[in-house]
Chain A
Amino acid sequence: MATTTATITLSSADLLSDNLSLSATTTLYKDGTTATGLEQVNYHRAIVPTGTNFDLIPESDALKDNSNYVYIINKNTDVTNYVVISINNKVMGRLYAGDWAFFPWSCDLSAAANDSTVELQAYVANATVEYALFHVGETLATAADS
């Protein structure tokens, strides 16, 4: 097993009348275990053209253990550029330049095909995104010449 931690720090000195300072850390464990860490990760960087909604993280039978975690960041620097993240046809929200998201992801194969696929569309300009999936497994394709 591996030990992977995810920490968030939210802070502001002037959003509220008192300082906002919040921090949380979690360790990424497998479903149904007390301390068995996720052992697999995919880490990508991609340039996503505008005009099309793409499957960023497709469903896979090997992922259906429902203990997967997704990180996505929009690396563009123009503040008007954004990407829209969806879970299939349900829009989650917009990541503007520099914004990131981190969330657990349930790969649900019981519903319609691609019903839980993580999708992403770039708006205004092509978007450079980095994304990572910490996961329980993946299905490797058998080589065509095997």
Chain B
Amino acid sequence: MATTTATITLSSIDIADNPINISNTATLHTAGTDTGLTETTGLARVKTNSGSNTILLDFGLTSGVAADMTADKSAKVYIKNVNDRGDGTKYVTILLTDKEIGRLYGGDWMFIPYSGGSGEDIEFTASDTTETTLEYALFYQ
């Protein structure tokens, strides 16, 4: 087994009267065990000039990067929009198939659990057709 940790720190000194400092570390285990996840796509980078809906992680696609992932287990996905923020109007919409999760503006990242399943892909749509670059990684069993 492997030991992979994901640490988040949320910090603000002025969003409230007292500082907010939230910090937690998760060790990425297989479902219902304390055995570490052993499979990953590694960190990948994709560029697009399309403003159309595009599949980032195609669940079950033969020979796809997520082909061996088992549905409804303990997978985690990291995605970052590595573009500059620019004027703050350009973003990438991240979707669970046809369901919008949210918008990653330039520099934003997200880390979510992913159940997968037939037809349950992770997709994205850039807000315009200028070049957009995403980095992503899937940790799975």
Residues on A facing B (Cβ under 8 Å): 2-16, 20, 22, 24, 26-27, 29-34, 37-41, 43, 66-71, 73, 79-80, 82, 84-85, 87-88, 90-96, 98-106, 108, 116, 132, 134
Contacts and interface: CB of A to CB of B under 8 A. Distances in A.
A3 B102 CA distance: 20
A24 B80 contact: yes
B128 interface: no
Interface stretch (B4-12, B46-54, B60-68): B4-12
Contacts, number: 203
Interface of B: 2-16, 20, 22, 24, 26-27, 29, 31-34, 36-38, 40, 42-43, 72-76, 78, 80, 85-89, 93-94, 96-97, 99-105, 107-115, 117, 120, 137, 139
Q: Could you tell me the dominant secondary structure of chain B's interface residues?
A: strand
Contacts of B40: 15-16
B88 A31 contact: yes
B2 A94 contact: no
A34 B76 CA distance: 30
Nearest to A22: B43
When A and B form their complex, which 8 residue pairs have the shortest distance between CB atoms, in order from nearest?
A93-B113, A104-B102, A4-B12, A12-B4, A2-B15, A90-B99, A15-B2, A103-B110
Given A93-B114, A95-B113, A98-B27, A8 B3 contact: no
Contacts of B97: 90
Given A15-B40, A79-B34, A116-B100, A10 B9 contact: no
